A and B are shown apart, each in its own frame.
Chain A
């Protein structure tokens, strides 16, 4: 079988060799606990401080505004629940969209269970937040607005600066899940009017289990965990020093390569999209009517189902994904596509291809041949011609 093709970079990415090299000493000789007073502790503390400074610098933030987390889910929960619990008495409402990551949606549902008011803004068929609906829902009762910058399933980019400005005018706090956005759009927290921002390491070549959250100076936040005073009490627990170093390295590399890599990915994505549409004229590309991230292609072909296609693709060596998996691993139709008004028959056929560091022109060429062939077979079996 020819070399397998990885088209699931939005799910996770391999750790970059430079990142691994940067981390290795901290698993070995420099193993100290940053809270310790001795030389081992000081060495670890210095590394942690440096990592924090480097990530902050890369994002236009101050080091004390950066809190290291375990990743996107923790950051999303901390922002949504942490802001709401701090402000609930005066501002009981939360505003979000139906196409958020489950980490945001479930955190908002949790706040609602605790007495909060959940306000979900509609999105248009292309996946963009409906501005009129958004304006109608944001008012002085809102503690926090949480909108994902780049949607992980369809790649649609929201106008975060504009949405944030509207929320700020009503005194609401603003969070954006920027997990997919890091390395794909410009993030400059000196000018971006958000109060919280969540990023994750494993989407950009750092290991799983490390991420960071930006918390603007002076912004209230009720911690989720209680314990030591690490990270100003916002995130107690001994810091994962090695991974913060790795994360800092990954952020720097990603941002340094951003312009060239985005152009490369977009060219390949567009080529793949054109090739697939040429061979499967009735294929539907989700989010195509909106600004989209350069690396994501979400396609549905009528008369097919993603479960069978994913298996067939995997057995041919092509890794893609579909919808979201429940804890058993079975695929359920995407809540994102449902919210965009995609008919169920198409939503259950959706396949997400996400390009990244491993992607090559050769991959695109092969998938442009293989995918339509599998579609043709699936449709013959289903009796669709």
Chain B
């Protein structure tokens, strides 16, 4: 019997091509679109429940001749992803909801649906690869999505199929055209967080907690040396490294370098103040053997940032500290830290803060 695979389909080109490639490879493909949130009637251009995505995914499945289902994971997604997203901003951090969506929604909840229909595998349109049971970066360096995938249960890797991971985005679009999925092939890629349609995450916070929540109330903008230089309209609107929305009139460009929820302070400083010589992360998840103190690794603290070389200097429970060979800018609490051995993902965690280095940096020491 052909092995069955449940494909998570968003209606976009990547997951559509993933499904098509699996059909071509002889799998018994079942398509599913997850309904994760509902805007109701608030957004006229975006009908209830991402209806357009569902319709596009269904059309692709019709063309491929495979069944398509809509799965309502709204409650779990709201709890696992949206609530956490809001809580992280309130805590002065900058969350990446896609990480938790992959960890909990796609590769846990959806996997349960796969179990229910005897699907041996689960597939997505992620640009990443499974090589010898390990998670590797996608071949297209601009599209690699391992930064969002470090949180999944290691045991799930054996059941994951990532058919577009060894292609470039351009190749994926070409496959879509070759398969006659023209509309999908030419779709504009969405850069928004799916449940934050107009890019204004403060609206999501206000919707959950009310517009009066302290995270969205005015507070002081202070410099690193403690001077109050202005007022902001809510610290949850800021992230480390941000320039937009800051008072002007300084001799050099100023950036957000810290957010202090207790006092609602947004701290700004010059570019140098953004640099970190080390990083501390918690909630580490290993996708193979855990790293050890003294290991040399490459890491990323931001999606698409260049890989940075570092050494593991401390491991305590699920907390790790690394010393960076070269300073890295805007190490942001709440973002992901992902460790690599070449293309292979060793593991990842959530950044707690930038850390002091073992050796002072020439730039700051001088």
Q: Which of A117-125, A163-171, A324-332 contacts B (4 or more CB under 8 A)?
A: A324-332
Judged by a CB distance under 8 angstroms, whether A314 is at the interface is yes
Judged by a CB distance under 8 angstroms, whether A311 is at the interface is yes
B117 touches A328 (CB 8 A): no
For chain A, which range describes its interface: under 10, 10 to 19, 20 to 34, or 35 or more residues? 10 to 19
B67 touches A328 (CB 8 A): no
B117 touches A312 (CB 8 A): yes
The number of residue pairs between A and B whose CB atoms lie closer than 8 Å in the complex comes to 57
Instruction: Assess A307 versus B72: contact at CB under 8 Å? Given A315-B30, A315-B117, A378-B116.
Output: yes
B351 to chain A, nearest CB (A): 34
A373-384: CB near B (< 8 Å → 1, else 0) gives 000011001000
CA distance A306 to B72 in the complex (A): 11
CA distance A327 to B118 in the complex (A): 27
A312 touches B116 (CB 8 A): yes
Q: Which of B42-50, B126-134, B263-271 contacts A (4 or more CB under 8 A)?
A: B42-50
A327 touches B72 (CB 8 A): no
A280-312: CB near B (< 8 Å → 1, else 0) gives 000000000000000000000000000111111
CA distance A327 to B72 in the complex (A): 12
| A311 interface neighbour in B50, B51, B117, Cβ under 8 Å | B117
B43 to chain A, nearest CB (A): 14
| A327 interface neighbour in B33, B49, B67, Cβ under 8 Å | B49
CA distance A315 to B68 in the complex (A): 11
A330 touches B72 (CB 8 A): yes
Judged by a CB distance under 8 angstroms, whether B300 is at the interface is no
Residue numbers in B under 8 Å from A310 (CB-CB): 69
A28-71: CB near B (< 8 Å → 1, else 0) gives 00000000000000000000000000000000000000000000
Interface residues of B, CB < 8 Å — how many?
22
B139 to chain A, nearest CB (A): 33
Judged by a CB distance under 8 angstroms, whether B54 is at the interface is yes
A330 touches B115 (CB 8 A): no
| A328 interface neighbour in B35, B113, B115, Cβ under 8 Å | B35
A308 touches B117 (CB 8 A): yes
Residue numbers in A under 8 Å from B58 (CB-CB): 329
Residue numbers in B under 8 Å from A327 (CB-CB): 47-49, 51
| A330 interface neighbour in B70, B113, B116, Cβ under 8 Å | B70
Residue numbers in A under 8 Å from B30 (CB-CB): 311, 315
B residues 12-39 touching A (CB-CB < 8 Å): 30, 33, 35
| A326 interface neighbour in B48, B69, B71, Cβ under 8 Å | B48
| B113 interface neighbour in A311, A314, A377, Cβ under 8 Å | A311
A114 to chain B, nearest CB (A): 18
B48 touches A328 (CB 8 A): yes
A381 touches B117 (CB 8 A): no
Interface centre among B30, B51, B54, B117 (most CB of A within 10 A): B117
A75 to chain B, nearest CB (A): 26
CA distance A378 to B47 in the complex (A): 33
B70 touches A308 (CB 8 A): no
A331 touches B72 (CB 8 A): yes
A328 touches B116 (CB 8 A): no
CA distance A308 to B112 in the complex (A): 9
Residue of A nearest to B69 (CB): A311
B residues 51-76 touching A (CB-CB < 8 Å): 51, 54, 58, 67, 69-72, 74
CA distance A315 to B117 in the complex (A): 7
A381 touches B112 (CB 8 A): yes
B117 touches A330 (CB 8 A): no
Residue numbers in A under 8 Å from B72 (CB-CB): 307, 330-332
B116 touches A381 (CB 8 A): yes
B21 to chain A, nearest CB (A): 21
Interface centre among A309, A311, A330, A332 (most CB of B within 10 A): A330
A326 touches B117 (CB 8 A): no
Residue numbers in A under 8 Å from B112 (CB-CB): 308, 381
Residue of A nearest to B50 (CB): A328
A112 to chain B, nearest CB (A): 17
Residue numbers in A under 8 Å from B47 (CB-CB): 327
List the 4 closest A-B pairs by CB distance, nearest first.
A308-B116, A328-B49, A330-B72, A329-B70
